[in-house]
Chains A and B, each alone.
Chain A
Amino acid sequence: ILVLQHRKMRSSVAFKLLSLVGLLLMSTQTTDAKNSEDIRCKCTCPPYRDIDGQIYKQNVSLKDCNCLHVVEPMPVDGKDVEAYCLRCECKYEERSSGTIKVTIIIYLSILGLLFLYMVYLTLLEPMLKRRLFGHSQLQNDDDVGDQQPFANAHNVLSHSASRPNMLNKVEHAQQRWRRQVQEQRKSVFDRHVVLS
């Protein structure tokens, strides 16, 4: 699943969502085959005479989910059974442990990947860059946001221009994304223009 997730991360998030929906639906379907762990009948019986309140759980089907089937050993004698059982409340419950498992694993792997990527972006990459190119490359990211009114037009039009190949495209997209995040960070954390 890690590998799967990894590939998904690389592709667009929209597709990831779709596949996630699919995965969840699939997992619910597979576990709908009544995993024996995933159903229970839970009877809660209030205190009766000198018997304390009890909770009984049994792995029975919906039609058997009543006090007579679930409460065992029966704490009272034969003639009191009816009175005791009247007070009990039995609930049939279902869950799908597969969905929970898959969800938690997906969530943790996304969280882990994001964490690693964050560590890479904030710690490793500046270090690598500094080692490889010296300090000059680091400045490049900052002076992109020029205030020229025609820069916008350049952006819009170059966006529609033909693109060379896949690698450049990815590189370009990543650069653009980083610029956007930087811009967002400025407006949220520094200038407090939005979202304060």
Chain B
Amino acid sequence: MESEQLFNRKGYYRNSYNSIASASSDEELLDGAGVVMDFHTSEDDNLLDGDATSPGSNYVMSNGGGVMSSTTHLLDFLEEPIPGVGTYDDFHTIDWVREKCKDRERHRKINAKKKESAWEFTKSLYDAWSGWLVVTLTGLASGALAGLIDIAADWLNDIKEGVCLNAMWFNHEQCCWGSNETTFAERDKCPQWKSWAGLILGQEEGPGSYIMNYFMYIYWALSFAFLAVLLVKVFAPYACGSGIPEIKTILSGFIIRGYLGKWTLLIKTVTLVLAVASGLSLGKEGPLVHVACCCGNIFSYLFPKYSKNEAKKREVLSAASAAGVSVAFGAPIGGVLFSLEEVSYYFPLKTLWRSFFAALVAAFVLRSINPFGNSRLVLFYVEYHTPWYLFELIPFILLGVFGGLWGAFFIKANIAWCRRRKSTRFGKYPILEVIFVAAITAVVAFPNPYTRQNTSELIKELFTDCGPLESSQLCQYRSQMNGSKAFVDASPNKPAGPGVYAAIWQLCLALIFKIIMTIFTFGLKVPAGLFIPSMAIGAIAGRIVGIAVEQLAYYHHDWLVFREWCEVGTDCITPGLYAMVGAAACLGGVTRMTVSLVVIVFELTGGLEYIVPLMAAVMTSKWVGDAFGREGIYESHIRLNGYPFLDAKEEFTHTTLAREVMRPRRSDPPLAVLTQDDLTVEELQGIINETSYNGFPVIVSKESQRLVGFALRRDITIAIENARRKQEGILLTSRVYFTQHAPTLPADSPRPLKLRSILDMSPFTVTDHTPMEIVVDIFRKLGLRQCLVTHNGIVLGIITKKNILAHLEELKEHTEPLASPWYYHKKRYPSSYGPDGQPRPRQHNVQLVTAFPGRQADEEESEEEVVNLLDGRGSTL
């Protein structure tokens, strides 16, 4: 602070540090004389060798002096804190750099005080530990909630079919826990468990009871779905959907107030159970990530370190999403990788360790609750360890192709449907839509045993290999010894019996049904995840392929491939493995995850041997899917909704310059700026009321347009309001100044208002000739919110994240008439592309603009002079 002796002369700021370093007498002369620069006549060339016309003494205010002035700014900030300054409005983007700076400052303060007393030392310890504490609490809460959801969803799902008489809180399996029905045929039946028909009509069998059960199934499905959508609509509309696109956007630095709040958590937890139990084609995994993030957000309010800092809070949320996947799939490592690969935007090592820990705690809690009664975290744990053979890679890759095609098709179809919902009147009836879809699902699902049962149980059954202990229809192979008897010694590589053929037909129907229903279900206004339905589709397809290959190997064991690897009489094909690979491939096609997906699937199934098939299938499905469109479902939904999400995975390969992107554009009204010391409160309020921009560059004066700093609209309004309440003598005619010392004023003027504390004196600036590649990189890597464009230290314009997104979208429209990447590859910029360097621009949503019209760019000025000056400047561009 001492090093930056700022003093005021003739309304100018002079930085002594810099005046020694760079200011020549020439510049001083020009500057001191207060020459009004004539920008009308200045051409580009003039501006380029701008040293002659633009004195350097103020130049440092924007760049060179940034470090020091920022400490000034922060200390000022601490001296007179105004409540609310530095917070963000709803639907605004955070400034990562500013937040991180704030956190470091806070940390320095605590460290400095640490030695003062024991109490301060304890406080510093608490502060250091609060990161681990908050992830522990998050892990505990998300594990407990996942246990609750698992147990309640299982129970409620079975309520559709019947009820446990002696203890109504047990689901079907728990109800028959100790029953003594010994034969395979009756393994699912026990006297305690009554189907609705048995309860109402008094008979378990027969067409009458079938119809009764059918009716009760539909009735319960409809009432669960109706209750879910009603609760969502009345209490927490943000609880609908999967939540992962929004969490991705939030983690990239966007504020959606209430999205991770208490009510969202409560309603999402409660309605998720209802939605899963209603039999809709949805899963609970994605919403569980949302639930865990809500826990993380709520617990971060207990710790000032996280509640006051949006960037730090996002670290907790990253860890929370890892915990969410950890409990959703019972895959702790997969959760950490999921957070890294799919959700997080900023993921330093420290966050990795915390995510790891949160995932561990959550998995531990869930394991101790033991929701499935199998002492495992997951429902589908495979127990076979049969080897696989090299030739099987061909069907695995085919499954990968299927997964990619399904993913591409699903994304296209679902986005088209959601766009329709978004843009037409059809979106006005969310409750009716849910009921309609639930009714169709229930009516179609009941007759087919593979769609009637819970989707995760279906996946479990498909993953399980046929052993002698299995009694499902899928395993009714004809034994070789006596061709008539079904399910005898049902090891595979036997000719399929009638049961298997029937099962394949039913599975084919189930596949078609699931494909269609999932497209219409994802996006309903109930909590709806995508993982389980996608996996189910893949598992069905995989199982069918597996049985086909198996029968092929049986009937054509003299073929070269089979003769080599598959001897007669041995079981070399495991259809369950195909189901597993298919599930991974379909999930990969939809979400375009790779590493985390493989890890999740192998943690989910415990099949450590099958990593290579999984990798091959997932990679193939990603390639095939990417050929049809590079976005996964979550990115597509982000784009559909127009969230300001700048993907770090894409490359920017165009050759535009910063000045082509910045606002104001040539045709726009000129940039509105604030001057550092000659505005009154009234004028400032006038500017704020007339414009809708979210921030204003502060310049030295109208004559010399040098940049001083940047002030946010929200901060200005809060500061003015605060001054009106707390400080006396602030009138409408009071002078507002952003300088260190008050300007010299006439004696009778009212007390001036100092707003230096809200001024960001180190705004990021680029010059107008900076290539956009660099600008985009700066935005991505530093997480900027806005960046000022200068020329010779003079503010020309501003680039915001949303401008960049709009620009990307514009470029996409102009240069990419086809969606396919190879078109781009060959015809446009052949040299500048990597193997997958395909820019994927994002759409800016027009509708959001009403909510926050601030492109926070280009402002208009009330003063005529400035308008002229700026006009002139505009014409030089």
Contacts and interface: CB of A to CB of B under 8 A. Distances in A.
Interface of A: 12-14, 17-18, 20-21, 24-25, 28, 37, 40, 44, 46-47, 52-57, 59, 87, 89, 93-97, 99-101, 103-107, 110-111, 114-115, 118, 121-122, 149-150, 152-154, 156-157, 159-160, 177, 180-181, 184-185, 187-196
Given A114-B270, A180-B257, A40 B178 contact: yes
Contacts of A56: 182
Contacts of B89: 152
B657 to A, nearest CB: 32
Interface in B145-187: 145, 147-148, 151-152, 155, 167, 169-170, 174, 177-185, 187
21 contacts: A20-B148, A24-B147, A53-B471, A55-B181, A57-B180, A94-B375, A95-B174, A105-B169, A107-B148, A110-B266, A110-B270, A152-B714, A153-B722, A157-B718, A181-B235, A185-B233, A194-B238, A195-B237, A195-B246, A196-B421, A196-B523
Contact of B234 (A21, A24, A57, A121): A121
A184 B227 CA distance: 19
Contacts of B489: 46-47
B582 interface: no
The A contact surface, by secondary structure, is helix
Contacts of A20: 144-145, 148
A188 to B, nearest CB: 4
Contacts of B851: 187, 193
B240 interface: yes
B234 A154 contact: no
B368 A37 contact: no
Given A20-B144, A55-B187, A153 B721 contact: yes
Contacts of B655: none
B605 interface: no
Given A28-B369, A57-B179, A93 B375 contact: yes
Count chain B CB atoms within 10 A of each CB in A54, A118, A187, A195 and give the residue with the most: A195
Contact of B155 (A46, A53, A104, A152): A104
A109 B148 CA distance: 13
Contact of A59 (B141, B178, B185, B722): B178
A123 to B, nearest CB: 11
A181 B263 CA distance: 9
B231 interface: yes
Contacts of A195: 237-238, 240-241, 246, 641
A11 to B, nearest CB: 11
Contacts of B418: 196
B717 A188 contact: no
Contacts of B178: 37, 40, 57, 59
B148 A103 contact: yes
Contacts of A180: 257-258
Contact of A188 (B180, B238, B265, B267): B238
A184 B236 contact: yes
A99 B365 CA distance: 13
Q: What 9 A-B pairs are tightest by C-beta distance, nearest first?
A: A46-B468, A156-B84, A153-B721, A104-B169, A53-B184, A188-B237, A13-B262, A95-B373, A196-B422
Contacts of B184: 52-55
A47 B488 contact: yes
Given A28-B369, A99-B369, A192-B421, A54 B235 contact: no
Contact of B230 (A103, A118, A156, A159): A118
A73 B428 CA distance: 64
A13 B370 contact: no
Nearest to B383: A89
Contacts of B301: 14
A181 B236 contact: yes
Nearest to A103: B151
Nearest to A52: B183
B688 A149 contact: yes
Contacts, number: 219
The size bracket of the interface on B is: 35 or more
B151 A104 contact: yes
Contacts of B231: 114-115, 118
B119 to A, nearest CB: 25
B720 interface: yes
B304 interface: no
Given A17-B295, A21-B140, A189-B525, A153 B84 contact: yes
A177 to B, nearest CB: 7
A150 B717 CA distance: 6
Nearest to A45: B469
A32 to B, nearest CB: 9
B612 interface: no
Contacts of B847: 191-193
Nearest to A25: B368
B802 to A, nearest CB: 14
A160 B436 CA distance: 47
Nearest to B230: A118
A44 B467 CA distance: 11
B640 A196 contact: yes
B298 interface: yes
A180 B267 CA distance: 15
Nearest to B82: A157
A157 B256 contact: no
B147 to A, nearest CB: 7
Interface in B38-84: 83-84
Interface string B710-726: 00011001101110010
B701 interface: no
Given A54-B184, A193-B847, A103 B227 contact: no
A13 B298 contact: yes
B177 A95 contact: yes
B3 interface: no
A122 B373 CA distance: 40
A157 B144 contact: no
A63 B867 CA distance: 89
A89 B234 contact: no
Contact of A184 (B238, B688, B722): B238
Given A28-B369, A107-B148, A153 B235 contact: no
Given A99-B147, A104-B155, A195-B238, 11 more contacts: A53-B471, A55-B183, A89-B469, A93-B373, A97-B170, A152-B714, A156-B83, A157-B721, A181-B237, A184-B237, A189-B427
Interface in B260-288: 262-263, 265-267, 270, 273-274
Contacts of A100: 151, 155, 169-170, 174
Contacts of A25: 368
Nearest to B90: A183
A106 B149 CA distance: 11
Contacts of B428: 189-190
A100 B421 CA distance: 39
Given A52-B183, A187-B851, A101 B236 contact: no
B142 to A, nearest CB: 10
Contacts of B370: 28, 94-96, 99
A37 B175 CA distance: 11
A52 B184 CA distance: 8
A180 B641 CA distance: 20
Contacts of B167: 97, 101
A95 B374 CA distance: 8
A47 B722 CA distance: 83
Interface string B653-679: 000000000000000000000000000
A24 B525 contact: no
Contacts of B181: 55
B845 interface: yes
A160 B84 contact: yes
